[in-house]
Structure 1
């Protein structure tokens, strides 16, 4: 069976789906991925064929306008920014999704490509499966991410109202581009939301995050939205993309020279003044008497200069495999991307989420509610607030709670479970 997987977004959007693609290929299926141009080489390094699909989101976020939107921490503003980028890229994106899916017997889409993929699947008469990285469908347990202050606990009626509003905004913003695609495919125009289209077609929406993170939600959804847990790359794929290289020996050697450090990282979200953030981390760590392991992410940070300014109690590093290093750390501070969040929590690390936007405030609120960490929006990040929040995270009771929570996470067979669902949909 030929399976097409059109994707776009950041590495955090692509990497877990590569794990699924490799599992499907291992079962004898012919798999092709569409990936952002800056991540095609990452995918092909694992042995999966890939073609360019969608814009370079890293370039968008790194632009002056993107940096201002990120600094504002406003999800609506970021959605508008992405919508403007897609307006200029819409025709090309339509064409690329069609090309990725050509000749496929089944299409697997993601949260950000399911709208286009649903029309392509309809025109081709093939089944569709969608992958969701966070709760992105109507429910009464949680509001639409970013629509309300994350520490609020509104009633079910209010939560459902935020989903109704958000789905209609998305429908209106993207309707013109999607109907242009439908015209190209010979389909009639549609005014329905993507959620409604997928529901009518009975499309499985696989939740590729852990149900332990969202208590109360699995009970509200039926078998069309199964939870698999986070999808992780196998050892061979991780070696192929350079995750398990020799740099780990240096990092672990530094860790062994003193008490377990606190990890600080902001993943694929660029930071406008990374040097200032590193200086703040250095000052706060010194006040609390902890060592700091800082990951530069996508930033333009001069690693050598940062290492010189940080002193012996601060190490600044490039990319590394979290699961090899996190078990040797005391806590984690990061932006709240689901990949980094999962790796930290499964290592039993109490976590401080400094959320930027999109679903990150949701995960920040959840670690606080679950008693395994704290949440500090990046827009409010300052030395004093960081110190107070990190002090709470480092308390022994948080470490104990995080260790208990780690035992509840699904860490084995998640990609296999997702592949079973895909194969069942084909049947």
Structure 2
């Protein structure tokens, strides 16, 4: 079977699709990955066929406009920015998806590619499965990201009404672009929401996160939206993309040369002054006697800033699953992929959320007692120091280790997703 997996977003969005594609190919299927231009080589090195699809989101977030929107911490400002990018890229994105879908017999898409994928699968008359990286459908337990402060407790009916409003807003904002695609494929115009369209077609909506992260949601949704757990990238693929233990020998040697360090990963955080942030980290290390491993995530950094104290090491990107087991705690933006890796390793985690679903996950680590949360807009020396003091508490470490053991027990979600994909194709 020829399966198309169109992926949009950052590495956290692309990597699970690669893990899935590798297992589907192992089972004998022919897989095509649609990937943003900055990840085509990544996919190819992992061993899959890749074609360009969608914009370079990293370039958007790294732009002055993107950095301002991220620093504001507003989901609505970010949605406006993404909408503007879509208006500039929409026709090209349509044409890329139409091109790479030629000959496809099934589409397996993700949260950020499901709108267009639903239209293409309808036009081709082929089955579809969608994968969600956070709770993005109507429910009574969790409000839409950005609709209310994450730590507010609101009635279930409010959450359901808010989700309906958000879905309608998405349809209004993006509907004209989606109808342009429908026109290119000779389909009639439609203003139905993607949620209602997929429900009407009985498309499986798989949740790529562990039910332990969202207590009660699996019970509310039942079998209609199964939680399959996280999708793990196999070690063979890690080695192929240059993330083996040998590739990390120098970093691991430093990590193991002293007490386990605190990991700091900036990810998509709009750090405009790395020198100031590194100064805060060094001050905290001096105060607490801790060591710090700082990943700047590929961002440009003045070489002079890499000359830190003996207790602080600055690196670019690294493989979290290799390094986290050697660390004591983690501080990062709260993207679900990084959050899974830090908690799977049993690390108490401080989430410095920027926007989208990150404040939700930040609140959840606090609520579950396995971490702390400081919104990026409130990140200062005192709030960062207080958050680190919280996650270094021995009792929190015990709770995080127990939570990590639970995630380990759930295991890799890739085989579960593949089973559902094959079952759906056979219907």
TM-score bucket (shorter structure): over 0.9
Counterpart in the other structure of 1:203: 203
Deviation at 1:269, TM superposition (A): 4.2
Q: Distance in 2 between matches of 1:96 and 1:269?
A: 29
Q: Distance in 2 between matches of 1:75 and 1:165?
A: 15
TM-score under structure 2 normalisation?
A: 0.97
Q: How does 1:320-399 map to 2 (within 5 A)?
A: 320-399=318-397
Check the 8 A contact 1:73/1:357 in 2, yes or no. Answer: yes
| RMSD of aligned alpha carbons | 1.2
Q: Distance in 2 between matches of 1:213 and 1:88?
A: 36
Check the 8 A contact 1:6/1:101 in 2, yes or no. Answer: no
Check the 8 A contact 2:2/2:31 in 1, yes or no. Answer: yes
Counterpart in the other structure of 2:401: 403
Instruction: Describe the superposition over 1:164-185 as per-residue Cα deviations: whole angstroms up to 9, x where unpaired.
Output: 1111110000000000110111
Structure 1 residues 170 and 162: alpha-carbon distance in aligned structure 2, compared to 1, 3 A threshold: same
Instruction: Give SS of 1:221's match.
Output: helix
Deviation at 1:283, TM superposition (A): 1.4
Q: Distance in 2 between matches of 1:219 and 1:156?
A: 15
Instruction: Give SS of 1:365's match.
Output: helix
Structure 1 residues 139 and 43: alpha-carbon distance in aligned structure 2, compared to 1, 3 A threshold: same
Deviation at 1:146, TM superposition (A): 1.7
Check the 8 A contact 1:348/1:406 in 2, yes or no. Answer: yes
Q: How does 1:311-326 map to 2 (within 5 A)?
A: 311-326=309-324
2:69 corresponds to 1:74: no
Instruction: Give SS of 2:407's match.
Output: coil
Counterpart in the other structure of 2:231: 231
Instruction: Give SS of 1:407's match.
Output: helix
Check the 8 A contact 1:350/1:398 in 2, yes or no. Answer: yes
2:51 corresponds to 1:51: yes
Q: Distance in 2 between matches of 1:385 and 1:362?
A: 19
Check the 8 A contact 1:335/1:353 in 2, yes or no. Answer: yes
Gaps of 5+ in 1: none
Structure 1 residues 215 and 231: alpha-carbon distance in aligned structure 2, compared to 1, 3 A threshold: same
Deviation at 1:8, TM superposition (A): 1.1
Q: Distance in 1 between matches of 2:318 and 2:16?
A: 16
Larger CA deviation: 238-247 vs 190-199: 238-247
Q: How does 1:242-253 map to 2 (within 5 A)?
A: 242-244=242-244, 246-253=246-253
Instruction: Describe the superposition over 1:27-74 as per-residue Cα deviations: whole angstroms up to 9, x where unpaired.
Output: 000000100001000001011001000011011001100000011011
Check the 8 A contact 1:139/1:220 in 2, yes or no. Answer: yes
Q: Distance in 2 between matches of 1:413 and 1:381?
A: 34
Gaps of 5+ in 2: none
Deviation at 1:320, TM superposition (A): 1.7
Check the 8 A contact 1:274/1:299 in 2, yes or no. Answer: no
Deviation at 1:276, TM superposition (A): 2.0
Check the 8 A contact 2:107/2:117 in 1, yes or no. Answer: yes
Counterpart in the other structure of 1:424: 423
2:120 corresponds to 1:120: yes
Instruction: Describe the superposition over 1:61-100 as per-residue Cα deviations: whole angstroms up to 9, x where unpaired.
Output: 0110000001101111001000000001111111111112
Larger CA deviation: 286-295 vs 375-384: 286-295
Q: Distance in 2 between matches of 1:103 and 1:121?
A: 11
Q: Distance in 2 between matches of 1:231 and 1:413?
A: 6
Instruction: Give SS of 1:263's match.
Output: strand
Number of residue equivalences:
425
Instruction: Give SS of 1:51's match.
Output: strand
Q: How does 1:108-187 map to 2 (within 5 A)?
A: 108-187=108-187
Deviation at 1:222, TM superposition (A): 2.9
Larger CA deviation: 253-262 vs 88-97: 253-262
TM-score under structure 1 normalisation?
A: 0.97
Deviation at 1:256, TM superposition (A): 2.4
Instruction: Give SS of 1:374's match.
Output: strand
Instruction: Describe the superposition over 1:105-141 as per-residue Cα deviations: whole angstroms up to 9, x where unpaired.
Output: 1001110110011011001000010010111000001
Instruction: Give SS of 1:79's match.
Output: helix
Instruction: Describe the superposition over 1:344-385 as per-residue Cα deviations: whole angstroms up to 9, x where unpaired.
Output: 101100000000110000100000000000000011000011
